[in-house]
A and B are shown apart, each in its own frame.
Chain A
Amino acid sequence: MASVNLQYVVKETSTNLKRNVFITIAAVLVVLVSMYLVGAVFVASFAVDRALTLQTKKVEVAVFLKRDVTPEERNSIQRDLIAMPEVATVSYESKQQAYETFKKLFRDEPDIVENTTPDALPESFRVKLKDPNQYAVVRDRLEGRAGIDQIQDERKFLSRLLAVVRDVRVLGIVMVVLLTIAAGVLIATTIRMALFARRREIAIMKLVGATNWFIRVPFMLEGVIQGMIGAVLAMALLVATRPFYTNLLKSFKFLNLTVTYTEILANSMWVLVFGILIGAIGSLLGLRRFLDV
């Protein structure tokens, strides 16, 4: 009996898909676009989160010294820094080392590098804290000391960056939600049309005592297949367009945002789950009123 049902379901589903070829294509394409964006948001979130975590670990407090700092002042600051219980490591960056870093950072803009001399850059102590949140304690203790020009917490830049990332992510999620709704509604519409095309069959099926699930399953499967095809295509497209967006991401020099093909695939598995869910929910939406007994 199960085999008869399976055969029936396959037959009915494929008839329905063929009958509404154009609207089926439209539904699949909308699923494709929305699932591509869902996947992009997932992959991007993964890459950004990883890069930021890495960066947070590298974050330091920079203690810039005055131009006219004396060696005694410098030594005493270093001694005190090392003695502080909150401090993990202290390293000294000379004007020359600062210049090297500067050169690396601006390697694409030779004009700036040429017009800068090592002497124009300040020497500094690079301080790593055991707990980055204790920045204020360290700063208060050092503030106003002779020889210190400025104390900077690099986390500030990072938190600004984090705020931007958060905004972009919210925007992305809003778009994804809207497109997902559109995809679901379109699938519901194709199911509605398939139901309408078969209303006589359905009326007879109900009359002779077919169960509602028996009537529903081919239609649900139709929606699920549309969602699944769209999602699989979206995954393929995500993988295929990797060269394009890794190029784009390279322009963010200070964060390493590149992702491997495997990472793309792993993160876009959710796309498949989403696609199937949209198909199922969309078709249930389309079936909702029609099958009330």
Chain B
Amino acid sequence: MRIEDQEDALEREQQCDAVGDAIAEAIGMPAPGAPGPLADDVARVLTRRPRGKLRPAWKWAPALAVGVGALVLLATRTQPPLRYELSGTYAARDDAFETPGNGTATARFSDGTSIAVGAHSAARVKARTRAGATIRLDRGRASFAVVHRPGARWNVEVGPFDIAVTGTEFDVHWADDRQGFEVVMKSGTVVVSGSLSGEGIPLHAGQRLVASLANKTLVVSDVARAERRSDATATAHVVAPHDDAAPRPRRERMVAQAAPQLTLRDAPPEESPETLARLRALSPPPFEPATPPPAAPAPATQPTTVVSQLGAGGGNCNDRPLPQIRFEHAMEGFKVLSGDPTSVFKNPIIDHEYSWCGGGSLRFDSSFDGDPAASGEAVVFLPHFVDLRGKTVTVRFMVRGTGDAEFSARILAGQGEMRTGNTYTPQLTAGRWWTISTTFHDQLTGFGTFDSKIHMADRIILKVDATGTFRVWSGPIYIDDIGWR
């Protein structure tokens, strides 16, 4: 501090000191007796407390915990299990009841839960606790409306399946003779476990699970779409991933709609002949490269190229030819291997949040746990056999979420268990869209010890391996499109 500053500070202190003297002179000591008597209440504050200090918490806390625990245990033990009453038309014996072909029955539990059993059905209340009950549906249909309560535990056993419920509404159908099983969700969430479903498949409101033990198939679908779909008997574990929640209106959605839709279904679409002709003129035929545009000026019906302004991807994604599978919606005709709980890639779904081009992508939840033998595989079944000889397959995808993730990727073409494709694209990172491609030549290079049937490929596989230093990561992977030319 400079001398001038010190002098200033000293002067300020002297001024305050002088002011303080003046105040002390003006406001001196209070007159004798000014404070008045000490209030009795105030005096008692000192004497009402115990002399000794409180016992430290570690001395009394265990005893308190034991006491509280005993009370809780006592309350738990003394609380009776749920009660229920049956109504309707039924024949009951012990806790089992059946309905005739022209009657229904309802079991109403004391917590408000109700189970409506359809005609020609058989069910049994296997166990009851204060938290819930275990119901076995031996045959027929039942509709469950389980009241959500903290700690509620309800289970529904259907054939080899088990449905864990916390609070929800859903319908169950079990056809013993055909070994068919169906769950239709109305609200809430359940987890279906048991045969075909591995450690458990979560089902949400609006979803339907259809399983066939005879065909060893299990399909999870959107209820509305499932009503229109007739191919529920797919290959085991092969699902047509349902659309994600309703997409928010975005510019990229408008872009996607401006571009012609590419239909990959076998069945002809239900458009008029004029519309079909126009679509043929606007887009390449499925699974075939587009013919080069004529040199002549484009006709009036030719759509103008729309430059996408995607937040996640971007770029001119309407360049021709369009990729054959764009994953705009689940009705494009492809199917996807759903994976089981141990798979690196699982829970396929059409996602409308992230897309390099258009308004949708195929999303998997990926989880690499450091196992060097574990690869993530996105297996997309094509609606037709495709001759890939001399063709280049391109896949555009992105891994999101884990910044340190490094991985390699390759494209395989498969027919049955046979696979072809050995071109790795290494050192890819998360958080950006990647476009990789592989050309399948006439001279086949078998992947494995068998020959490939590349001239009739039925599936395209994107295989991802974790590389680099950090090999334990998880996050969604989005496949925007698959094309070949």
Is the pairing of A and B real? no
Interface of A with B (CB < 8 Å)? none
Binding site for A on B (CB under 8 A): none
